[in-house]
């Protein structure tokens, strides 16, 4: 067997990054080499899992601490917008994100050609929402990974990406698409000008990435897939049915109170941890219940004091090792949290705030695997009722058991690795 080199280029966020880590782990188990193209601030993440990582500037170069502070400030400045409906986030959070994403593609074009020439990959996998022309033009097969909500690949009969709408709300779909197109047009025009400079054809309004002609990998499992008007061609699109990485073991600590009570895990991701008021409200609620909880507070541990004896906080938890041990999860709807709960058969209450979290929250409720909750507009009684349903509803439990068994039988990591290796070996 000739060893092949597989390059992974995930978005600079923990969801896509850790999903690609899982696939890369499986590629290396097959005897091949996996390397990462990385935003400079994420190089240490990949190195921490034992991978070679090559920095690619996605913005004006700055020290990692300054970059982390930039994104922390960016998210925290938008916390008031987290209270808005998805359609009302288009002209603030969504608009500013797309401006930053387009800038990231322009910056990446400066570094990618020489980085690719250095590592000489046989296949390049990209988990992002925007085209990097240098990757498409490098001359080897490139793969698009869709680790966020499945509706990132559009279809007129399903809710638009980022909308968080029900499949039946066709009137709402039209209104969301109209507003999105209006707000995004100047940014999209700028991106098309960049594509022209790179020798690429322009994209239609609202589109920033295309499907790979070689292979596209989607994380969504069968049980939560949308019913499309135009089904995706399995020769070009493959569902991984989840893709859960291996992480270090985790032993649940002893709680001073409710140590035998149902165990909850609460996490809003590395960026959502900045919403400390919401996390403190949840901790206060849990304090007076029969539950105990592990709560991910990110980089904000110093803001929490006088914690109840049935709550333990941490700056980070190895989720694939934690979720199997808990009884229910409250999270933000990020792609890894969403698929990990399904993979391990754990009911979830999703309190989305931005991006694909809105879509995943609606999907978990529409398919009967848990509940969507408004992020702020709930009473203690309403939330406790949802938690109790997660713990006691036999229909939810049966559905999760079936979905979990299906996902674990598919082994998304190994499936993805085999597809990538087959693609590399098919090239002359």
Number of structural domains the chain divides into: 2
Q: Is residue 52 included in any domain, yes or no? A: yes
Q: Do 187 and 67 reside in the same domain of the chain?
A: yes
Confidence of residue 394 (pLDDT cuts 50, 70, 90): very high
Task: Give residue-wise pLDDT tens across range 292-340.
Answer: 999 999 989 999 999 999 999 999 999 999 999 999 999 999 888 999 9
Q: Is residue 253 included in any domain, yes or no? A: no
Q: Do 9 and 150 reside in the same domain of the chain?
A: yes
Residue 342's pLDDT is what? Answer: 96
Query: If you average pLDDT over residues 247-266, what whole number do you get?
Result: 95
Q: Do 196 and 273 reside in the same domain of the chain?
A: no
Average pLDDT, the chain: 93
Q: Is residue 384 included in any domain, yes or no? A: yes
Q: Do 277 and 215 reside in the same domain of the chain?
A: no
Q: Do 205 and 176 reside in the same domain of the chain?
A: yes
Q: Is residue 57 included in any domain, yes or no? A: yes
Query: If you average pLDDT over residues 50-64, what whole number do you get?
Result: 88
Q: Tell me the C-alpha distance between 190 and 291, whole Å.
A: 51
Q: What percent of the chain has pLDDT over 90?
A: 82
Q: Do 67 and 19 reside in the same domain of the chain?
A: yes
Residue 222's pLDDT is what? Answer: 86
β-bridge mates for residue 314, sequence order = 296
Q: What percent of the chain has pLDDT over 70?
A: 99
In this structure, what token pair is assigned to residue 71?
């994104």
Please give the model's pTM, rounded to 2 decimal places.
0.91
On the 0-12 / 13-18 / 19+ scale of CB atoms within 10 A, 270 is buried
Q: Do 35 and 126 reside in the same domain of the chain?
A: yes
Domain ranges, residue 326: 263-408
Residue 411's pLDDT is what? Answer: 87
Q: What is the CATH number of the domain that holds 185?
A: 3.40.50.2000
Residue 199's pLDDT is what? Answer: 97
Q: Do 39 and 183 reside in the same domain of the chain?
A: yes
**Closest by CA position to 212, among listed 114, 315, 149, 135:** 135
Q: Do 415 and 373 reside in the same domain of the chain?
A: no
Q: Is residue 61 included in any domain, yes or no? A: yes
Among 37-41, 71-75, 157-161, 260-264, the range scoring the smallest mean pLDDT is 71-75
Query: If you average pLDDT over residues 271-300, what whole number do you get?
Result: 94
Q: Tell me the C-alpha distance between 26 and 14, whole Å.
A: 18
Residue 428's pLDDT is what? Answer: 66
Task: Give residue-wise pLDDT tens across range 355-381.
Answer: 999 999 999 999 999 999 999 999 999
Q: Do 379 and 421 reside in the same domain of the chain?
A: no
Angle between helices 95-119 and 170-197 (to 10 degrees): 40
Q: Is residue 251 included in any domain, yes or no? A: no
**Residue 118, pLDDT above cutoff 90:** yes
Query: If you average pLDDT over residues 238-251, what whole number do you get?
Result: 84
Q: How many C-beta atoms lie closer than 10 Å to residue 315's C-beta? A: 12
Per-residue CA distances from 215 to 229, 237, 292, 389, 394 (Å): 21, 6, 43, 40, 38
Q: Is residue 256 included in any domain, yes or no? A: no
Q: Is residue 122 included in any domain, yes or no? A: yes
**Residue 345, pLDDT above cutoff 90:** yes
Q: Do 396 and 420 reside in the same domain of the chain?
A: no
Residue 301's pLDDT is what? Answer: 94
H or E element: which one contains 297? Answer: none
Q: Do 51 and 198 reside in the same domain of the chain?
A: yes
**Residue 194, pLDDT above cutoff 70:** yes
Residue 68's pLDDT is what? Answer: 67
């Amino acid at each position: 067997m000739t060893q092949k080199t597989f390059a992974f280029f995930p978005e600079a966020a923990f969801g896509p990054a850790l999903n690609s880590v899982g696939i890369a782990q499986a590629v290396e188990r097959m005897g091949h080499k996996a390397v990462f193209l990385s935003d400079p601030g994420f190089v240490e993440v990949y190195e921490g899992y034992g991978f070679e990582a090559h920095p690619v500037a996605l913005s004006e170069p700055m020290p990692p601490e300054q970059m982390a502070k930039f994104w922390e400030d960016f998210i925290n400045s938008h916390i008031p917008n987290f209270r808005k409906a998805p359609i009302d986030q288009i002209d603030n959070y969504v608009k500013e994100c797309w401006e930053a994403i387009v800038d990231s593609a322009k910056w990446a074009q400066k570094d990618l050609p020489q980085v690719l020439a250095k590592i000489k990959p046989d296949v390049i996998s990209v988990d992002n929402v925007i085209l990097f022309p240098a990757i498409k033009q490098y001359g080897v097969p490139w793969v698009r990974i869709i680790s966020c909500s499945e509706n990132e690949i559009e279809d007129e009969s399903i809710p638009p990406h980022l909308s968080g709408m029900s499949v039946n709300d066709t009137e709402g779909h039209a209104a969301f698409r109209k507003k999105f197109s209006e707000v995004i047009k100047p940014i999209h025009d700028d991106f098309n000008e960049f594509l022209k400079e790179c020798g690429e054809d322009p994209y239609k309004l609202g589109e920033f990435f295309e499907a790979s002609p070689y292979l596209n990998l989607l994380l969504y499992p069968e049980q939560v897939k949308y019913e499309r008007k135009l089904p995706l061609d399995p020769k070009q699109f493959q569902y991984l049915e989840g893709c859960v990485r291996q992480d270090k073991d985790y032993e649940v600590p002893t709680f001073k109170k409710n140590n035998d009570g149902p165990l909850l895990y609460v996490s809003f991701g590395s960026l959502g941890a900045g919403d400390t008021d919401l996390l403190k409200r949840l901790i206060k609620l849990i304090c007076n219940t029969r539950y105990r909880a592990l709560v991910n507070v990110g980089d904000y541990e110093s803001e929490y004091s006088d914690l109840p004896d049935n709550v333990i906080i941490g700056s980070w938890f190895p989720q694939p090792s934690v979720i199997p041990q808990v009884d229910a999860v409250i999270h933000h709807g990020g792609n890894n949290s969403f698929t990990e709960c399904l993979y391990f058969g754990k009911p979830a209450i999703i309190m989305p705030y931005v991006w694909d979290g809105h879509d995943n929250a609606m999907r978990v409720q529409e398919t009967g695997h848990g509940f969507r909750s408004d992020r702020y507009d709930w009473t203690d009684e309403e939330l406790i009722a949802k938690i109790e349903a997660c713990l006691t509803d036999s229909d939810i439990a049966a559905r999760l058991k079936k979905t979990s068994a299906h996902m674990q039988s598919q082994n998304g990591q190994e499936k993805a690795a085999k597809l990538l290796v087959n693609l590399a070996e098919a090239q002359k």
